[in-house]
Amino acid sequence: MPFIPHTEEEISQMLEVIGIDSTEALFDEIPSHLRTSGLDGIPEGMTEMEISRLMHKRASQNTDAVCFIGAGAYEHHIPAAVWQLTTRGEYYTAYTPYQAEASQGTLQLTYEFQSMMTALTDMDVSNASLYDGASALAEAVLMAIRGNRKSKSRKVLIPRTVHPTYRKTTETIVTGQNIDLLEVDYDLAAGTVQLDALKQAATDAGGDITAVVIQQPNFFGALEDIDAITDWAHENRILVISITNPLSLAVLKPPGQWGSENTGVDIACGDGQPLGAPMSCGGPYYGFLCSTSALVRQMPGRIVGRTIDVDGKEGFVLTLQAREQHIRRSKATSNICTNQGLVVTASTIHMAILGPEGLENTAAACHANTTSLVAQLTDIDGVRYAFSSPYFHEAVLVLDQPVTAVLEALAERGILGGYDLGAEYPELGNALLVCATELRSEEDINAYQAALEAALDVETRQKEIA
Amino acid sequence: MPFIPHTEEEISQMLEVIGIDSTEALFDEIPSHLRTSGLDGIPEGMTEMEISRLMHKRASQNTDAVCFIGAGAYEHHIPAAVWQLTTRGEYYTAYTPYQAEASQGTLQLTYEFQSMMTALTDMDVSNASLYDGASALAEAVLMAIRGNRKSKSRKVLIPRTVHPTYRKTTETIVTGQNIDLLEVDYDLAAGTVQLDALKQAATDAGGDITAVVIQQPNFFGALEDIDAITDWAHENRILVISITNPLSLAVLKPPGQWGSENTGVDIACGDGQPLGAPMSCGGPYYGFLCSTSALVRQMPGRIVGRTIDVDGKEGFVLTLQAREQHIRRSKATSNICTNQGLVVTASTIHMAILGPEGLENTAAACHANTTSLVAQLTDIDGVRYAFSSPYFHEAVLVLDQPVTAVLEALAERGILGGYDLGAEYPELGNALLVCATELRSEEDINAYQAALEAALDVETRQKEIA
Amino acid sequence: MLIHEHSKPGRKGAPQAPVSKADLSDIPSNLLRQDSAALPEVSEMQAVRHYTRLSQKNFAIDTHFYPLGSCTMKYNPRACNSLAQLPGFLSQHPLTPDELNQGYLACMHELQLMLCEAMGMAAFSLAPMAGAQGEFAGIAMIDAYHKANDDDGRKEILVPDAAHGTNPATATMCGFNVREIPTLDNGDVDIDALQQAVGPQTAGLMLTNPSTLGVFERQIEKIADIVHAVGGLLYYDGANLNAILGKIRPGDMGFDVIHTNLHKTFSTPHGGGGPGSGAVGVAERLIPFLPLPLVSQDNAGYHLVKEQDAPQSIGRLSAFMGNAGVLIRAYVYMRLLGRDGMARVSEFATLNANYMMAEARRRGFELAIPDRRASHEFIITLKREASELHVTAMDFAKRLLDLGYHAPTTYFPLLVPECLLIEPTESEAKEALDGFMDALEQIRQEAESNPEVVTTAPHTLPVKRLDEVRAARQLDLAWKPEA
Amino acid sequence: MLIHEHSKPGRKGAPQAPVSKADLSDIPSNLLRQDSAALPEVSEMQAVRHYTRLSQKNFAIDTHFYPLGSCTMKYNPRACNSLAQLPGFLSQHPLTPDELNQGYLACMHELQLMLCEAMGMAAFSLAPMAGAQGEFAGIAMIDAYHKANDDDGRKEILVPDAAHGTNPATATMCGFNVREIPTLDNGDVDIDALQQAVGPQTAGLMLTNPSTLGVFERQIEKIADIVHAVGGLLYYDGANLNAILGKIRPGDMGFDVIHTNLHKTFSTPHGGGGPGSGAVGVAERLIPFLPLPLVSQDNAGYHLVKEQDAPQSIGRLSAFMGNAGVLIRAYVYMRLLGRDGMARVSEFATLNANYMMAEARRRGFELAIPDRRASHEFIITLKREASELHVTAMDFAKRLLDLGYHAPTTYFPLLVPECLLIEPTESEAKEALDGFMDALEQIRQEAESNPEVVTTAPHTLPVKRLDEVRAARQLDLAWKPEA
Ligand SMILES: Cc1ncc(COP(=O)(O)O)c(C=O)c1O
Ligand SMILES: Cc1ncc(COP(=O)(O)O)c(C=O)c1O
Distance (Å, whole) CA B9 – CA D175:
53
pLDDT at B463 exceeding the cut of 70:
no
Q: From D6, which residue of chain A is nearest by alpha-carbon distance?
A: A5
pLDDT at A159 exceeding the cut of 70:
yes
Q: From B52, which residue of chain C is nearest by alpha-carbon distance?
A: C16
Domain ranges of chain D: 79-337, 339-469
CATH 3.40.640.10 boundaries in chain A: 80-350
**Those residues with Cβ within 8 angstroms of residue A110's Cβ, 6 or more apart along the chain or in another chain:** A97, A128, A302, A304, A316, A341, A344, A348, C273
Q: Is A79's CB within 8 Å of B48's CB? A: yes
pLDDT tens digits, C209-259: 999 999 999 999 999 999 999 999 999 999 999 999 999 999 999 999 999
Can you give the three-state secondary structure of chain A, one letter per residue?
CCCCCCCHHHHHHHHHHHCCCCHHHHHCCCCHHHECCCCCCCCECCCHHHHHHHHHHHHHHECCCEECCCCCCCCCCCCHHHHHHHCCHHHHCCCCCCCHHHEHHHHHHHHHHHHHHHHHHCCCEECCCECCHHHHHHHHHHHHHHHCCCCCCCEEEEECCCCHHHHHHHHHHHHHHCCEEEEECCECCCCECCHHHHHHHHHHCCCCCCEEEEEECCCCCECCCHHHHHHHHHHCCCEEEEEECCCHHHCECCHHHCCCCCCCCCEEEEECCCCCCCCHHHCCCCEEEEECHHHHHHCCCCCEEEEEECCCCEEEEECCHHHCHHHHHHHCCCCCCCCCHHHHHHHHHHHHHHHHHHHHHHHHHHHHHHHHHHHHHHCCCCEEECCCCCECCEEEEEECCCHHHHHHHHHHCCEECCEECCCCCHHHCCEEEEECCCCCCHHHHHHHHHHHHHHHHHHHHHHHHC
Question: Angle, to 10 degrees, between the axis of helix C430-449 and the axis of helix C393-402?
Answer: 120
The residue contributing the CA closest to ligand 1 atom 14 is: C71
Q: Which of B24, B40, B131, B181 to mutate to test the interface with D (most CBs of D within 10 A)?
A: B131
Sheet holding D419-422, edge to edge: D378-381, D419-422, D409-410
Pick C48's closest partner by Cβ from D53, D78, D336. Answer: D78
B87 secondary structure, DSSP code? T
Q: From C44, which residue of chain B is nearest by alpha-carbon distance?
A: B3
pLDDT tens digits, C267-301: 999 999 999 999 999 999 999 999 999 999 999 99
Band the pLDDT of A362: cuts 50, 70, 90.
very high
Distance (Å, whole) CA B435 – CA D95:
13
Choose the weakest-confidence range: B182-191, B315-324, D8-17, D406-415.
D8-17
pLDDT for B465: 63
pLDDT at A215 exceeding the cut of 80:
yes
Amino acid letter for position B11? I
In angstroms, the first-to-last Cα distance of chain A is: 64
**Could you tell me whether strands D419-422 and A314-318 are parallel, antiparallel, or unpaired per DSSP bridges?**
unpaired
Distance (Å, whole) CA C53 – CA C45:
12
Tell whether B23 lies on the interface with A, counting CB pairs under 8 A: no
Domain B80-350 has CATH 3.40.640.10: yes
Point out the ligand nearest to the CA of residue C162.
Answer: 1
pLDDT for B458: 73
Q: Is D63's CB within 8 Å of C49's CB? A: yes
Distance (Å, whole) CA D134 – CA B338:
11
Q: Is A131's CB within 8 Å of C11's CB? A: no
Specify the CATH number of the domain D339-469.
3.90.1150.10
Distance (Å, whole) CA A75 – CA C87:
12
Instruction: Quote the mean pLDDT of chain B.
Output: 96
Cα(D117) to ligand 2 centroid in Å equals 22
Specify the CATH number of the domain A356-465.
3.90.1150.10
Whether residue A337 has its Cβ less than 6 Å from ligand 1: yes
Helices (H), C164-282: 166-173, 191-197, 220-229, 250-253
Cα(A337) to ligand 1 centroid in Å equals 7
- pTM, to two decimals: 0.98
Nearest Cα of chain D lies from the Cα of C280 at a distance, in angstroms, of 29
pLDDT tens digits, D423-459: 999 999 999 999 999 999 999 999 999 999 999 999 9
pLDDT at A463 exceeding the cut of 80:
no
Kind plus residue range of the DSSP H or E element containing D115: helix D102-119
pLDDT for B359: 97
Mutate which of D70, D317, D375 for ligand 2 pocket (most atoms within 8 A of beta carbon): D70
Mutate which of C164, C259, C266 for ligand 1 pocket (most atoms within 8 A of beta carbon): C164
Nearest to C205 by CA among C253, C256, C245: C256
pLDDT tens digits, C451-473: 999 999 999 999 999 999 999 99
Pick D16's closest partner by Cβ from A1, A10, A48. Answer: A48
pLDDT tens digits, B257-280: 999 999 999 999 999 999 999 999
Q: Is A89's CB within 8 Å of D12's CB? A: no
D250 secondary structure, DSSP code? H
Q: Taking residues A112-133, what's their average pLDDT? A: 98
pLDDT at B111 exceeding the cut of 90:
yes
Tell whether D246 lies on the interface with B, counting CB pairs under 8 A: yes
Pick the CATH number of D79-337 from 2.20.28.10, 3.40.50.300, 3.40.640.10, 3.40.190.80: 3.40.640.10
Band the pLDDT of A461: cuts 50, 70, 90.
low
Q: Which atom of ligand 2 is nearest to the CA of D71?
A: 16
CATH 3.90.1150.10 boundaries in chain B: 356-465
pLDDT tens digits, C163-179: 999 999 999 999 999 99
Contacts D337 to B, Cβ<8 Å: 2-3, 45
pLDDT at B464 exceeding the cut of 70:
no
Mutate which of A131, A325, A335, A338 for ligand 1 pocket (most atoms within 8 A of beta carbon): A338
Question: Angle, to 10 degrees, between the axis of helix B48-61 and the axis of helix D102-119?
Answer: 130
Distance (Å, whole) CA D326 – CA D215:
29
Whether residue C212 has its Cβ less than 6 Å from ligand 1: yes
pLDDT tens digits, C194-209: 999 999 999 999 999 9
Q: From C308, which residue of chain A is nearest by alpha-carbon distance?
A: A423
Contacts B3 to C, Cβ<8 Å: 14, 43-45
| Complex-level ipTM | 0.97
pLDDT for D16: 83
pLDDT for A459: 63
B125 secondary structure, DSSP code? E
pLDDT for D162: 92
pLDDT for A458: 72
Q: Taking residues C342-370, what's their average pLDDT? A: 97
pLDDT at C43 exceeding the cut of 90:
yes
Distance (Å, whole) CA A324 – CA A331:
8
Q: Is B441's CB within 8 Å of A53's CB? A: yes
Nearest to C65 by CA among C345, C380, C404: C404
Cα(D133) to ligand 2 centroid in Å equals 10
Tell whether D297 lies on the interface with C, counting CB pairs under 8 A: no
- Chain pair B-D, CB pairs under 8 angstroms: 706
pLDDT for C17: 86
pLDDT for B457: 85
pLDDT for B217: 98
Residues touching ligand 2 (Cβ under 6 Å) are B 337-338; D 70, 130-132, 164, 166, 208, 212, 237, 239, 261, 276, 278
Q: Taking residues B322-330, what's their average pLDDT? A: 88
Q: Is D324's CB within 8 Å of B356's CB? A: no
Contacts B46 to C, Cβ<8 Å: 15
The residue contributing the CA closest to ligand 1 atom 8 is: C131
Whether residue C375 has its Cβ less than 6 Å from ligand 1: no
pLDDT for A465: 62
pLDDT for D19: 84
- β-pair partners for C410: C420
pLDDT for C38: 96
Instruction: Quote the mean pLDDT of chain A.
Output: 96
**B382: alpha, beta or left, given left = phi > 0 and alpha = psi -120 to 50?**
left
Distance (Å, whole) CA B448 – CA B383:
13
pLDDT tens digits, C361-415: 999 999 999 999 999 999 999 999 999 999 999 999 999 999 999 999 999 998 8
pLDDT tens digits, C401-454: 999 999 999 999 988 999 999 999 999 999 999 999 999 999 999 999 999 999
Cα(C166) to ligand 1 centroid in Å equals 7
